[in-house]
Homo-oligomer: A and B are copies of this chain.
Amino acid sequence: MQTLDENKRKKIIAAAGKLFGKKDYHSVCLSEIAAEAKVGKGTLYVYFKSKEDLFSSVRIEGYMDMYRYLSKNIDTESGDPLEHLHKIISETVKYCYRNKSIFKLLRAGTGTKMKPEIKKTRKKVLELTRSVIESGVEKGILCDSKPAYTANYLLDVVRSGLSYSDGQIPQDELIEHIYNFFSRALKK
């Protein structure tokens, strides 16, 4: 019996991610994705039940990957909250630079309401930032009445910086500017 190939699923997600990152939802057609992934169009429907499902999966996978990457590189438990903040910002920016296609998906929104599963995954990424800020507040080092709002801003500011004049800002300059901005805003 032939079995589903996790590897092929990954290839499809990657191809779709690349295209959805460049063009908007309705401008990407499935035959294009199939070609990019080097599979038949019908195969897409073996792994995903619809275009929407594929798109959602791309976003979920994207957030999960980002989350894995961030949580591998950031230890929230100990140390200086400001250092964590710097780490979160620099790793987020670096991750987005390395995965140019992903950052457009950060706020995609196809018009149809965002599926709860995507929200949940996105939330995991946000929680990381929020918990860093919150622990800083508890320790009396930071000051923020609504860390959850701020965490939300952060992702959008990164996206903002990345799309500023079509991504012409050097990575390190962007990291420093954002870190400066956030640390000054939050420092007690």
- Measuring CB to CB, which residues of chain A are less than 8 angstroms from any residue of chain B? 22-27, 104, 107, 109-112, 145-146, 149-150, 152-153, 155-157, 159-161, 163-164, 169, 174, 177, 180-182, 184-187
Q: For the complex formed by this chain, how many copies does it contain in all?
A: 2
Given A24-B25, A184-B185, 17 other A-B residues pairs in contact with their CB atoms under 8 A = A24-B111, A27-B110, A27-B112, A107-B107, A107-B163, A149-B169, A149-B174, A150-B181, A152-B164, A153-B160, A153-B161, A156-B156, A156-B157, A156-B160, A157-B157, A182-B185, A184-B186
Closest to A160 in B: B156
- Which of the listed residues A110, A156, A177, A182 has the most CB atoms from chain B within 10 Å of its own CB? A156
Are B145 and A153 in contact (CB-based, < 8 A)? no
13 contacts between A and B (CB under 8 A): A22-B111, A24-B24, A24-B111, A27-B111, A104-B109, A107-B107, A145-B177, A149-B174, A153-B160, A156-B156, A156-B160, A182-B185, A184-B186
